[in-house]
Amino acid sequence: MEFTNPKAGGRRPAEAAGPEGPGAAAARPVSWQVPRDAVPGRNLALLPIAEVLSRRDAGTVLLDGRGPAEFTAGHVRGAVSIGLRGRFEECAGAVLPPDRDVVLVGDVEIAAEAAARLGDAGYDRVVGQLDDLASVLTAGPELIEASSRLSIEQLAELHRLEPALQLVDVRTPTETARGTLPGAREIPLAILTKLPDALDRSAPVLAYSACGYRSLVAASVLQAAGFGDVADLLGGYRAWEGAGLRVVREATPDTAAAPEVGARAAAALVDAGALMLDVREPGEWQAGHVAQAWLLPMGQVARHRSDLPQDRRIVVVCRSGGRSAAVAEALRAWGLDAVNLSGGMTAWAVAGLPVVTPGPDIAGLVVHRTHPLNCETSIPALIGGVVMPNARFYVRNHFETPRLDPVSWRLEVKGLVERPLRLSLRDLHNKRSETLVATLECAGNGRSAFDPPADGEQWQLGAVSTAEWTGVPLAEILDRAGLTTEALEIVFRGADQGNVGEAADPIRFERSLPVTDAGHSGSLLAYAMNGEPLPLEHGYPLRLIVPGWYAVASVKWLTEIEVIGSPFTGFFQTKRYVYETERNGTVAREPVRLQQVRSVITQPSAGQEVTAGDLLIRGVAWSGAAPIGKVEVSIGSGPWQNARLIGQQHRHSWRWWELLTRIDSPGETTLRARATDLGGRTQPERPHWNRLGYGGNAVQNVPLLVR
C-alpha cells in the first residue's frame, strides 16, 4: 500500500514536498507563512491547524507521538501514530517515506523529543508542529477522528460474526514462525505500507502485532490511506496466546474446531451433570445467565484451567458463540471434554430456556449501611466462578469514600528509609507487575452468629470475596526505598478519614505491618482488580493487598507508607481489630491477623425446599494460615461425609467443594459443613466469643425442608 492520502491528488512525493523540499518554490500550491513562534529548544515552527491540513492535503505526513490511549481517543484526521514510548525509531523507519515532509501533531511538550529522535534516525524533513492540539480536539468531526482497538474477546466474537474480516499480522517473519492467529495474513509492517492492493478497502481490517504497539501504527497508516473500517488488537498476539487460545504453528498440525451443540442439547447436557462455563464479562453475566453456571471470563481461563473439572463435560457459553468457540478449542487442546453452545446466550434465550436475571437476592449486595457504604455479597451470589465480579464483591468502609484525582495522586514512602519516594500512578504502572488471586474477608464476617451479640456491623457470611489483583510487589518498593536498621513496623495510610468515638478531630484509616511480615507476605500494591482498574469503592487508584490476612490489613485509597521504629498505636491498630477477651479478671488483647479456617454452604440455600432423593451440596472454603485440606458435610444428626474439593489448590484463594448425596426421609433437616486446613485447624461448633466479634468461624447450619 503506497502511503498516500487520496486528498493529495496523486502527486509524486517530491512535488508535494514542503518549503524545504526539492522544487518547492515551483510546485507548492499554497503560500505558507512560517510563524515566528517555535518549539522551545528546537527550530521548529508552530503551525495553525489550517496550514497543517493544507500541508497534509499536499502530501505531508502528519505524525502523532502521543500514547495509544490519547491517540485513539482523538487525533487530527489523517495522522499516523508512532508513540514515543515504544519502538519509535524502528517504526518510523518502516512507515515514513524518506522524501516526504513531516508535521508533528501530538502535544507541543513532546515535539522537541520527537524531532530529535527522528533526526537521529536520519529523518530531517520535520517542518513544524501543530500549535494547539487541545483546541483542535474540541472542534468538530471534520478536524478529528478516533481509532478503534478491540480486545481479544471482541476479536473472538467478530471472527465468527464477520466472515469478510481481514486479520493482518504485521510482525516479522521470525516472529510469525513461532505462531499466528487462526486465519491471519502475514504482512510485515514495512511491507504493508508499500503494497497498494494487498487489502480490500471495502472489508473490515484488524491488525495485530506482538503486544499492540506496531499494530496501532499499522492501523493508523491504513486509516490515513483511506480505509474506513480499521482496528487493531489490544495486547496483540501475546494477549491471545496468553489467554490459552488456539494459535497456528507450522510444526503443529491444525486442530479441528470444537464440537457445537444447540441450546436444548446444551440444557440436556447440564441436566445430566455437565458444567456450564460462562466466559463473558461480569457485566454481561449480571444481565442474565444460566443457573449454576460458572463465570470465568475468557481472558482468565488459561490462568485458572487447573480449577476446571477433569471428569465432567464442559459446555462453554458466551453472548453469541464466538468467544466460547475459541475457549472450547483451547480446553480440548488441554485434554478437557468441552463443547461450544452455538449461538450463545442469545440462542438459549430464543429457545425459551430459563435465565437467571439480576435481582436483590442474587446479583445485588445486602446493604447494611449506606453512609459509609457497608454491604455484603448474598450467599446465592457466591455461586459462580473462580473470582467474584467487581460489582458483587463485598464492600467494607469505615468512613465516606474519598475521590482521588489519579493525575495528581502520589504515593509517599517516608520515615526510616534511606531514599524517600514519591511515586505517581504512572510510575507504578511502569514497574514490573504481578498478579495474585487472593480471598479478602472482613474480620467481622459472621458476627451475627455471636451469642451474646457482639458490637459492630452484623455481618452474615457474605463479607468475603475473591479477586485477581494486579500491581507492584510491596517488597520491591521497600527495597527501592531502603529500610534503615531501626525500622520496626510499616504504617499504611489511606485517604479516607472521619471521626471515631468521642475524639474531636478526624483520623485517617491506617494500619501497620511488622517489617518481617511486610517483606515476606507476598503483599501487593494493587491498581487493578479482575483485569480492570480498581473500582472507586475498592480503593481506586491504589490499595494494599495482604494475602491470607483479614482485609483490614489491605488498606484502600493508599497515599502514604511510613516506616517507623516503634510499635504503632493507631486507633484501628489497638482499639479496633483486636480479639478482646476477659481472662482471670483481666482484659487480654490479641491483634487480628490471619483469616480463620471457614467453609460456607452456597447451595442449597437456607430454608429451601428440596425433593427427596439425590442432592447436590456445594460450597466454598478458605483459610489464611494454610490451604484447605478437607471439607466434611453432615446431614441432620448423621455422620460427617467427605466432600470433593474442586480445582487446584491455591495458597491464598478460596476453594470450591461439592458433595453428591441422598436424602430419603421427608421433613425438616439441617446441613452442616466444616473445613480443615493443612495446618490441622478445624472450624469450631460455636464461635470463640470476643467483645468486638472478630474471627467468628463456627460451623454453618443450613435448614432444609425435604418434600
Evaluate whether 148-242 and 401-441+467-591 have a shared fold.
no
8 A C-beta contact, residue 159 and residue 152: no
pLDDT at res. 362: 35
**Cα–Cα distance between 482 and 417 in angstroms, integer?**
5
Identify the CATH class of 598-706. mainly beta
Answer for the pair 72, 216: CB distance below 8 angstroms, yes or no. yes
Q: Which residues pair with 700 in a beta bridge?
A: 673
- Counting beta carbons within 10 angstroms of the beta carbon of residue 308, is it exposed (0 to 12), middle (13 to 18) or buried (19 or more)? buried
Q: What is the model's pLDDT at position 27?
A: 33
Low-confidence spans in the chain with pLDDT less than 70: 1-42, 140, 196, 251-255, 282-283, 286, 357-364, 370, 383-385, 501-503
Q: What is the pLDDT of residue 252?
A: 58
Q: Judging by beta carbons within 10 Å of its beta carbon (0-12, 13-18, 19+), is residue 116 exposed, middle or buried? A: middle
Domain 148-242 in CATH 3.40.250.10? The answer is yes
Q: What's the confidence (pLDDT) of residue 253?
A: 58
In whole angstroms, give the CA distance from residue 568 to residue 560: 15
Task: Dump the DSSP string for 342-383.
Answer: TTHHHHHHHTT---BPP-TTTTSEEEEEETTEEEEE-TGGG-
> What stretches of 58-165 show up as alpha helix (H) in DSSP?
68-73, 88-95, 111-120, 133-137, 152-161
Q: At what angle do helices 213-224 and 88-95 cross, to 10 degrees?
A: 30
Tell me which CATH code domain 6-145 carries: 3.40.250.10
Burial class (CB in 10 A: 0-12, 13-18, 19+), 500: middle
Cα distance between residue 527 and residue 540, in whole Å: 7
pLDDT confidence of residue 657: 94
Going by C-alpha positions, the residue among 38, 33, 93, 25 that lies closest to residue 63 is 93
Q: What one-character DSSP code corresponds to residue 288?
A: -
Q: What is the spatial distance between Cα 380 and Cα 368, in angstroms, rounded to a whole number?
A: 17
Q: At what angle do helices 111-120 and 88-95 cross, to 10 degrees?
A: 70
Which distant-in-sequence residues (6+ apart) come within 8 Å of 210 by Cβ? 171, 175, 236, 237, 238
**401-441+467-591 has which CATH code?**
3.90.420.10
pLDDT digits (tens, 9 = 90+) for 562-591: 999 999 999 999 999 999 988 788 888 899
State pLDDT tens for residues 69-87: 889 989 999 999 999 988 8
SS3 220: helix
Domain range list for the chain: 6-145, 148-242, 260-350, 401-441+467-591, 598-706
H or E element in which residue 53 lies:
helix 49-57
- pTM value is 0.59
Taking alpha carbons only, the member of 379, 386, 454, 442 closest to residue 595 is 442
SS3 of 626-648: the string is CCEEEEEEEECCCCCEECEECCC
pLDDT at 196: 56
260-350: in CATH 3.40.250.10: yes
Contact 100, 125 (CB under 8 A): yes
Surface-to-core class of residue 539, CB atoms within 10 Å of its CB (0-12 exposed, 13-18 middle, 19+ buried): buried
**Residues annotated as part of the active site:** 318
Cell (9 digits) for 194: 508499500
